[in-house]
Amino acid sequence: MGLKAALATIGVDEHFVIQLSLQYLKTYFQKHSPLASRVDIEVHVFPPHAKARSVAEALSMGDPDLVGFSCYVWNVERILKAAGILRGIKPGCKIVLGGPEVSPRAEEILTRAGAVDIVARGEGERTFTELVELCAGQGELSKVKGIAYRSAGRAVRVNPDRTLLMALGKIPSPYLQGTIEVGKDDIVPLETMRGCPFRCSYCYYHKDSRKLRRFPLSRIEEEFKLILSREPTEVYLMDPTFNADAGRAKAVLRLFRKHNRGSRLHCELRAELLDREMVELLHRANAQFLEIGIQSANPETLRLVNRGLDRTAFERGIALLNEKAVSHEIQLIDSLPGDAYSDLKRSLDWVHRLAPPHIEIMPLAVLPGTDLRRDAKRFGLEFDPRPPYHSRGSDRFPRDDLRRVHGLRKALSLLHNAGFFRRGIRMAAELLGVGFSDILEAWGGRGSSRRADAFPLRDLAKIPGFLMSLCRRHGMLRKSDGLRRVLQEDMAEVLMSAHLQRVRSGRPAGSRREHAGGTQCRPGGPAA
């Protein structure tokens, strides 16, 4: 009888159904293990709402000899519960945990979770292959590098680290091997390289691999050719910093454009490393959403978190993206070391002046294994001990200020990210001599009971009156005629967008559902 193994995770989003990391484990084993023909490996991606018991029961039905879970901040607690339930159903099954959430917590996990037999640390392709072979009676647990495990005496043992696989081409492509089927509605994840050359203290990206390692361009072209022929909604390049190697990034973009049939491209990059040629290539490749982290504009904060920033180069890069209308999001992080609430507001005002389509203030997550986690006490930084480890405040950023940030986020979603009234809001800020962040603060708790995915017509209609009330409060009403005209034009744009959305959705003009905030679009906002 052959061996049965299951690889499983709980997804983060209904749209992300392809779990590339698990497929890598499967295809690597199938290519490199002499036992490949004797082992059946099933991959399970459970939906975000999946309960621990349903996960355990579904896996047990396959009668696996080994189950490997891929763990992230959004799923690790449920996976630990599922492991405990699975242990009760199948006492003899080996349970292995891997992924960025457990790699730096291996000893803690094994001490806490009696159902877990092994924690894989770092990249898992070769480790998984050796563990499956071990289940088949080949090898010794003490000789498997890159794992922690519980010995026969229940003591936790930590084996030496596994060296990185430098030749990434040895990992077969799950797409080219046919183990992943790509559909038209899919968001397709893909790696072109691994590693990150930067050393930001809040980030875990560079821990496993500080050196850039690249998949062969010839393989990437074959993957693009196959994937893009299926015309998926989006291809998401998972590289931590896509343009860390500018020449390589340009080559990848040329290949994507060559084979693209209309799919959009999504990646994370640094604006400082953009030039006119790269932005043109992003535009032609149909890059419709770029994530650009700035985190803070405070020089002292950036020094404390080991994050570099060339403000001039950053501004130039964002200007180039705006020139070509390439949609992007600039991300800040709250409560970083050295930042006070007033510093975050100044960073937000600077970012807003660059006129990006989308701005996001991310909550600080004090992740296990990061330098920030290690140094948290030095900064007076408190955080939730449970995933996702969000900050509870610091010496310079108390909890009350974190609550104020929540108000900024809600206002930002409507007053900037919805894509309307941008001219009017800028004009109002200039007229009143205040910053954009002051406008967001003044918005306060206005709106919204609408669904997050709904067109916010009712809330948008409140903005002109809100801005005029600010002018009245500041004694500037007599000088606001120009602002009033701009707000009327902006409101006309909102109403036209609402009308077009009604036409597209097939509902009659004047639909009551529309006026209740019921349509499904954010015209003028960033790409998804």
CA–CA distance from 395 to each of 146, 282, 376, 402, 404 (Å)? 38, 41, 11, 12, 16
pLDDT at 314 exceeding the cut of 90: yes
As a whole number, mean pLDDT of residues 227-231 equals 97
Tokens of 279: 């932005």
As a whole number of angstroms, the distance between CA 279 and CA 320 comes to: 7
Question: What's the rounded mean pLDDT across residues 134-163?
Answer: 91
CB atoms within 10 A of CB 114: 12
Separation CA 16–CA 124 (nearest Å): 21
Write down the pLDDT at residue 14. 85
Look-up: residue for tokens 């040629």? Answer: 277
Contact 204, 367 (CB under 8 A): yes
| Confidence tier at 208 by pLDDT (50, 70, 90) | low
Residues in the chain: 528
**pLDDT tens sequence across 365-422:** 999 999 999 999 999 999 999 999 999 999 999 999 999 999 999 999 999 999 999 9
Among candidate residues 525, 271, 279, 342, the one with its CA nearest the CA of residue 422: 525
Check residue 264 and report its DSSP letter.
E
Q: Are 201 and 370 in contact (CB under 8 A)?
A: yes
pLDDT tens figures, 427-450: 999 999 999 999 999 998 776 555
pLDDT at 1: 56
* Nearest-angstrom CA–CA distance, 40 and 443: 58
The alpha helices in 260-292, defined as continuous H runs, are 276-284
Q: What is the mean pLDDT of residues 355-364?
A: 98
Rounded to an integer, the average pLDDT of 459-475 is: 95
DSSP-based three-state secondary structure for 158: strand
Percent of the chain topping pLDDT 70:
93
Report residue 519's pLDDT band, with 50, 70 and 90 as the boundaries: very low
Paired strand residues for 148: 119, 158
In this structure, the strands spanning 156-158 and 147-150 are antiparallel
DSSP 174-200: TTTTTSS---TT-EEEE-SEE--S---
For 272-289, give one letter per residue: b (16+ CB within 10 A) or e.
bbbeeebbbbbbebbbbb
Residue 327 corresponds to which amino acid?
S
Q: Average the pLDDT over 163-167 and give the result.
A: 94
Q: How far is CA 176 from CA 224, 256, 266, 270, in A?
A: 10, 16, 21, 30
pLDDT score for 139: 81
* Cα gap 307→439, rounded to integer Å: 29
Spell out the residues 6+ positions from residue 415 whose beta carbon is closer than 8 angstroms to its own.
421, 425, 439, 440, 443, 463
The mean of the pLDDT values for the chain is 92
Mean pLDDT is lowest, of 89-93, 487-491, 507-511, for 507-511
Model pLDDT, residue 172 = 98
Q: Distance between CA 318 and CA 330 in Å, rounded?
A: 9
Instruction: Tell me the pLDDT band of 84, cut-offs 50, 70 and 90.
Output: very high
Predicted confidence (pLDDT) at residue 520 exceeds the cutoff of 60 = no
Q: Which residues pair with 234 in a beta bridge?
A: 187, 264
Cα distances (Å, whole numbers) of residue 7 to 50, 93, 137, 222, 286: 16, 13, 20, 26, 34
pLDDT on residue 4: 97
Give the Cβ contact number of residue 236 at 10 Å.
18
More confident residue, 507 or 387: 387
Residue pair 60/211 in contact (Cβ under 8 Å)? The answer is no
Q: How many Å apart are CA 463 and CA 413, to the nearest integer?
A: 13
Query: Which of 458, 472, 460 has the alpha carbon at shortest distance from 428?
Result: 472
